């Protein structure tokens, strides 16, 4: 039976991507509506990808559909992009094959069929320059995680020795705290370490008591190794930060706009820009942009009942960056702080932070599409909350006898 779906592309290729093998099926529809299928298998080396690109160009392929399998699709995408082919990387969840017909050839043909009828949507793939910068930014994130892990080990070693400095200072990597830890490693007496406390708010007596532990030679050995590792990680981070600042030159206008938002500094702006690019119009709307970053409530409704509002999967790295920026924004004199305070009581810290991150990403979309710097609206969320709920609160207070009713007070 002839398909009722309209064919949008006459010559489409579907590629089932693996690490060392790529199965390709090309579907070609001629003027009479007859479909010809060509299937080949290629290896994963550069010469194999070059042969694959030449074969697709020879057949006159209009569109190539590639499933986003791990990171293996990236080399295929780069090679086909270089020869000018049009490639769509599609979500594996959206193109799941029919159960019971799972082979590599069937998968590649299924991708081509979906592409012919336009039943798939392409994922956002940033330009080549930003894709390469993602390697730098994501490696930087790993180094930051390693630094945090080493800092936690530093806390544990100090606590193991009975030194409670971490309980009195907010940041063990701060200037004064680090100087005191260095003094401990170098064998200075507690009375000498107190002189290095600088402007720490903790009382001198408490600091002195926290430094009187049992630090053995083995404790010092491990602490010294941790100190050297932390210094090495910081050198690497400084090098990457300098590189990222220089790499932002072609995107200076967008980078500058991001830095006008409360909670976003130079490095955070660079990391966010690398994830989203400087052209957001392809997302369509602020809502779609927030959905792509997994920062909006999910929709799950059946029989008129709302089942769940849990956020869906999206760009987890961008979500992390914006939640981190939200934690900074709520500490500034801005509308984000007021909105956070209004949500904190009802929703708790974590959900309130996600809501602030949602507001941040919608703000970024508006700023980029209009090319305007951030302007704080000064909206008073607390006053709006009181205006909305005050009548209900007053009625509840009157009902429970905390407030005398207006009519009774007037009669008296």
Residue 64 scores a pLDDT above 80: yes
Strand 87-90 with 63-67, pairing: parallel
Per-chain mean pLDDT for the chain = 88
Residue 149 scores a pLDDT above 80: yes
Which single residue is written with the structure tokens 């100087």? 179
Which residue has better confidence, 301 or 167? 167
Tokens for 353, please give them. Answer: 């932070």
- Mapping DSSP onto H, E and C, the string for the chain reads CCCCCCCCCCEEEEEEECCCEEEEEEEEECCCCCEEEEEEEEECCHHHHHHHHHHHHHHCCCEEEEECCCCCHHHHHHHHHHCCCCEEEECCCCCCCCCCCCCHHHHHHHHHHHHHCCCCCCCCCCCHHHHHHHHHHHHHHHHHHHHHHHHHHHHHHHHHCCCCHHHCCCCCCCHHHHHHHHHHHCCCCHHHHHHHCCCCCCCHHHHHHHCCCCCCHHHHHHHHHHHHHHHHHHHHHHHHHHHHHHHCHHHHHHHHHHHCCCCCCHHHHHHHHHHHCCCCHHHCCHHHHHHHCCCCCCCCEECCEECCCCCCCCCHHHHHHHHHHHHHHCCCCCHHHHHHHHHHHHHCHHHHHHHHHHHHHHHHHHHHHHCCCCCCCCCCHHHHHHHHHHHHHHHHHHHCCCCCCHHHHHHC
Residues linked to residue 26 through DSSP beta bridges, in sequence order: 13, 38
Residue 1 scores a pLDDT above 60: no
In Å, how far are 165, 298, 299, 360, 375 from 312, measured between CA atoms?
41, 6, 9, 18, 30
Interatomic CA distance for residues 68 and 66, integer angstroms = 6
Q: Please name which of 331, 326, 321, 323 lies closest in space to residue 267, comparing C-alpha atoms.
A: 321
For the four alpha carbons of 143, 147, 152 and 157, in that order, the dihedral sign comes to: positive
Interatomic CA distance for residues 405 and 91, integer angstroms = 60
Q: CB–CB of 128/77 below 8 Å?
A: no
Residue 342 scores a pLDDT above 50: yes
Residue 22 scores a pLDDT above 90: yes
Task: Report pLDDT digits (tens) over 210-266.
Answer: 888 888 999 999 999 999 999 999 999 999 999 999 999 999 999 999 999 999 999
Query: Any idea of the CA torsion for 234, 237, 242, 244, to the nearest 10 degrees?
Result: -170
In the prediction, which pLDDT does 309 show? 67
The CA R_g of the chain, rounded to the nearest whole Å, is 29
Residue 300: pLDDT band (50, 70, 90) is low
Topology of the domain covering 11-123: Nucleotidyltransferase; domain 5 (3.30.420)
- For helices 335-347 and 316-329, the axis angle rounded to 10 degrees is 100
In the prediction, which pLDDT does 99 show? 66
- For helices 73-82 and 128-160, the axis angle rounded to 10 degrees is 150
In the prediction, which pLDDT does 388 show? 80
Residue 377: pLDDT band (50, 70, 90) is confident
Tokens for 235, please give them. Answer: 């050198």
In the prediction, which pLDDT does 353 show? 95
Tell me the residue length of the chain.
Answer: 412
Residue 168 scores a pLDDT above 80: yes
pTM of the model: 0.84
Query: Any idea of the CA torsion for 41, 44, 46, 48, to the nearest 10 degrees?
Result: -10
Residues linked to residue 25 through DSSP beta bridges, in sequence order: 14, 39
Which stretch of 111-125, 127-141, 187-201, 229-243 has the lowest confidence by average pLDDT? 187-201
- Report residue 205: phi and psi, to 5°: -65, -40
Phi-psi map region of 97: left, alpha, beta (phi>0 left; psi -120 to 50 alpha): beta
Q: Once rounded to an integer, what is the mean pLDDT over residues 306-316?
A: 76
In Å, how far are 192, 205, 216, 223, 333 from 187, measured between CA atoms?
10, 20, 10, 12, 44
């Amino acid at each position: 039976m002839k398909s009722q779906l309209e064919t949008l592309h006459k010559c489409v290729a579907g590629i089932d991507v693996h690490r060392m093998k790529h199965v390709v099926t090309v579907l070609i529809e001629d003027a009479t509506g007859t479909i010809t299928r060509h299937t080949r298998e290629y290896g994963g080396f550069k010469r194999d990808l070059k042969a694959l690109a030449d074969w697709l160009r020879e057949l006159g392929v209009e569109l190539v559909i590639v499933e986003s399998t791990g990171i293996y699709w990236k080399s295929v995408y780069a090679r086909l992009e270089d020869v000018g082919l049009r490639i769509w990387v599609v979500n594996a969840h959206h193109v799941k094959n029919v159960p019971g017909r799972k082979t590599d050839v069937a998968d590649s043909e299924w991708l081509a069929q979906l592409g012919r009828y336009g039943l798939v949507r392409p994922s956002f793939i940033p330009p080549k320059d930003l894709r390469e910068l993602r390697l730098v930014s994501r490696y930087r994130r790993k180094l930051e995680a390693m630094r945090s892990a080493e800092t936690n080990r530093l806390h544990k070693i100090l606590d193991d020795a009975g030194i409670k400095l971490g309980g009195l200072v907010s940041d063990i990597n701060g200037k004064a705290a680090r100087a005191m830890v260095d003094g401990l490693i170098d064998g200075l007496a507690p009375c000498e370490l107190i002189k290095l406390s600088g402007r720490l708010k903790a009382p001198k007596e408490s600091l002195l008591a926290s430094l009187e532990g049992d630090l053995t030679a083995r404790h010092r050995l491990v602490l010294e190794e941790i100190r050297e590792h932390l210094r090495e990680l910081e050198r690497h981070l400084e090098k990457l930060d300098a590189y990222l600042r220089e790499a932002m030159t072609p995107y200076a206008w967008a980078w500058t706009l991001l830095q006008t938002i409360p909670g976003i500094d130079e490095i955070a702006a660079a990391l966010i820009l690398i994830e989203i690019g400087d052209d957001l119009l392809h997302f369509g709307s602020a809502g779609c942009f927030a959905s792509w970053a997994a920062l909006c409530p999910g929709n799950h409704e059946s029989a008129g009942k709302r089942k769940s509002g849990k956020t869906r999967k999206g760009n987890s790295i961008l979500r992390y960056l914006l939640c981190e920026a939200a934690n900074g924004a709520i500490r500034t004199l801005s509308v984000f702080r007021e909105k956070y305070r209004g949500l904190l009581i009802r929703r708790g810290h974590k959900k309130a932070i996600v809501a602030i991150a949602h507001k941040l990403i919608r703000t970024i979309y508006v700023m980029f599409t209009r090319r305007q710097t951030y302007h704080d609206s000064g909206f008073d969320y607390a006053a709006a909350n009181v205006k909305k709920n005050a009548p209900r609160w007053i009625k509840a207070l009157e009902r429970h006898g905390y407030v005398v009713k207006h009519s009774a007070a007037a009669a008296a």
